[in-house]
Amino acid sequence: MPKDVSMVQLLATPEKFDGKLVRVFGFLRLEFEGDALYLHREDDTQGLTRNALWVDRTDAMEREQEKLNAHYVLIEATFDAEDTGHMGLFGGALKKVTRIIPWPPAAPK
């Protein structure tokens, strides 16, 4: 069962969550050498990578890229405090993604 945490908790106290399955919300950017979950949309716009976590992209994320990229999402993944992503720019990494959905979720039809 994933632990509900905030981006702030993961960025401020990464050692508490290292190796744990977490559920977190953030702004997702999928781009070459820059797949990341940001605290806020503005952090992505301003290139504030220390306010972001590296994300290991999955095949499912690739297929759903149009729905996920540049949107807020809920993501469940294993947190790795030591992996700081491309060029060490990020505050940790989300690996082995088990669930990712746009947030808020689409209303049922």
Instruction: Report mean pLDDT in 10-residue bins for the chain, 109 residues.
Output: 97 97 98 93 95 96 95 98 88 97 81
Q: What pLDDT shows up at residue 33?
A: 85
Instruction: Tell me the pTM.
Output: 0.93
What's the CATH architecture for 3-102? Beta Barrel (2.40)
Q: What pLDDT is stored for residue 89 in this prediction?
A: 87
The single-letter DSSP state of residue 64 is: T
- What sections of the chain are H helices per DSSP? 7-12, 41-45, 59-63, 65-68
Distance CA 19, CA 78 (A): 6
